[in-house]
Amino acid sequence: MTTRTATLAVATTMIGVLASTPAAWATSNGVVTGMGHDLVQRLCSACHMVEPGQSDPPNHVGGPAFQTVANRPDITERSLRRHLRATHSNAMIPLAMPNPQLSEDELIKIIDYLISLRIVH
Ligand code: HEC
């Protein structure tokens, strides 16, 4: 009886780069594109206008356009963080904003994106 030894070479090399995507990069108009933009398109655009230059029509119901929010003088990174970590809808106000359940990383990228929409006068 012969014994055959099979050697299995297991390639453990990961192809590609580990998640080292640049968080964001500024375009010529100063709006941060990249992960934050992708995230808001995916997670927020059902209820909000998320693109720069978009504003809500007069009788709009639902979430305010992100550029409109960004331009409010009371909006800061802190206020956005507070808003995005809370649940605003409940049995009495079911159409208010649900808690988006963001990771810390997503939160940072989304806040960067929102602040970048601010029009500096
Ligand atoms: C189901 C609809 C819905 C989704 C999804 C949603 N929002 Fe909202 N959002 C609202 C509504 C309605 C309001 C206004 C009333 C309120 O605050 O609940 C609002 C308000 C806001 C405001 C204004 C806060 C302020 O201080 O006035 C911000 C900023 C915001 N949303 C960000 C986001 C982001 C970022 C996402 C995605 C991660 C998101 N929203 C997803 C419905 C939504």
Q: What is the tens place of the pLDDT at every residue in 85-100?
A: 999 888 888 888 999 9
Asked, for residue 68, whether it belongs to a domain, the answer is yes
pLDDT at site 36 = 94
Asked, for residue 92, whether it belongs to a domain, the answer is yes
pLDDT at site 33 = 67
Asked, for residue 17, whether it belongs to a domain, the answer is no
Report which protein residue has its CA nearest ligand 1's atom 33.
44
Asked, for residue 4, whether it belongs to a domain, the answer is no
Q: Across the 121 residues of the chain, what is the mean pLDDT of every consecutive 10-residue run?
A: 46 32 44 84 96 93 94 97 92 88 96 93 68
**Residue owning tokens 């806040």:** 111
DSSP secondary structure, 35-95, as one string: HHHHHHHHHTTTTS--STT----TT--SSPPHHHHHHSTT--HHHHHHHHTS----SS-TT
Asked, for residue 5, whether it belongs to a domain, the answer is no
In the chain the first and final C-alpha atoms are separated, in Å, by 86
The answer to pTM > 0.85 is no
* Run of H or E including 34: strand 32-34
pLDDT at site 59 = 92
Which token pair is 28?
């010529």
Which structural domain, as residue segments, surrounds residue 44?
A: 26-116
Asked, for residue 33, whether it belongs to a domain, the answer is yes
d(CA 57, CA 76): 24
- 72: CATH: 2.60.40.420
What mean pLDDT value characterizes the chain? 79
Distance 84 CA to ligand 1 centre (A): 8
What is the count of structural domains for the chain?
Answer: 1
Report which protein residue has its CA nearest ligand 1's atom 20.
63
> Ligand 1: which of 47, 60, 118 to mutate, most ligand atoms within 8 Å of CB?
47
Asked, for residue 13, whether it belongs to a domain, the answer is no
In the structure, which protein residues have their CB atom closer than 6 angstroms to any atom of ligand 1? Answer: 40, 43-44, 46-48, 62-64, 69, 79-80, 83-84, 88, 95-98, 100, 110
Give the residue among 38, 31, 24, 120 at the shortest CA–CA distance from 71.
120
Report which protein residue has its CA nearest ligand 1's atom 29.
80
